[in-house]
């Protein structure tokens, strides 16, 4: 008789957000990118990331980030203590393939990170397995089908309206695209409820 014990699982939660003004978010990101280009000259590949990392404090985005933070806390309270909650600490937006989001990275000052896509077209957000030492002999010729037990990386496909929430220590990156992709990302901290 066989018995399997799953240990040390990592999850990425996906929400399909509705009633979000995606046009307003897209226009904001494009307007800010265009203002920067007017000041500093054209950006070669049309990629851009906001310098303002406190978008969540703007009155313009209050409703959007309230929904965002609610979803973060749904994820947090599923696995952690209800005497605490997570609070958005940083928020920024990106257009297309800014180098900081297309290279593997993690967010060391954050507990949960998340990214919302007001505009995306079947994109791949890649996650690297945090236990690479477990996969020394997971070469393609030894694996018939990759799954959560034998993969060095995993990807989640995202489209317009998708919000992904994940552990901030998980290395991740978005695959470059030729299409216009816009994302709004956040980091969070734990605070008393």
Model pLDDT for residues 139-151, shown as the tens digit of each residue: 778 888 888 888 8
Alpha-carbon distance of 99 to 73, in angstroms, equals: 29
N residues, the chain = 193
Q: Taking residues 103-108, report their average pLDDT.
A: 94
Q: Residue 133's pLDDT band (boundaries 50, 70, 90)?
A: confident
Q: Would you say 182 and 50 are in contact if contact means Cβ atoms under 8 Å apart?
A: no
Predicted pLDDT at 146: 83
Nearest to 112 by CA among 83, 91, 133: 91
What average pLDDT does range 104-115 have in this prediction?
96
Mean pLDDT over 69-89 rounds to: 97
Mean pLDDT confidence for 114-126: 96
pLDDT at 183 over 90: yes
């Amino acid at each position: 008789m066989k018995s399997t014990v799953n240990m040390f699982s990592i999850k990425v939660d996906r929400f399909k957000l509705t009633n979000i003004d995606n046009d307003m978010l897209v226009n904001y990101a494009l307007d800010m990118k265009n203002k920067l280009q007017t000041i500093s000259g054209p950006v070669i590949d049309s990629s851009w990331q906001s310098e303002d990392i406190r978008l969540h404090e703007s009155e313009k985005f209050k409703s959007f980030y309230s929904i965002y933070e609610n979803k973060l806390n749904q994820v947090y309270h599923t696995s952690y203590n209800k005497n605490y909650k997570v609070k958005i600490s940083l928020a920024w937006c990106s257009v297309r393939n800014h180098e900081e989001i297309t290279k593997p990275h993690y967010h060391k000052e954050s507990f949960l990170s998340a990214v919302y896509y007001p505009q995306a077209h079947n994109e791949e957000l890649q996650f690297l397995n945090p236990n690479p030492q477990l996969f020394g002999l997971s070469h393609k010729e030894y694996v018939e089908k990759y799954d959560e037990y034998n993969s060095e990386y995993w990807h989640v496909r995202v489209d317009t309206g998708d919000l992904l929430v994940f552990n901030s220590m998980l290395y991740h990156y978005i695959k470059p695209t030729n299409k216009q992709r816009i994302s709004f990302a956040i980091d969070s901290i734990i605070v008393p409820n």
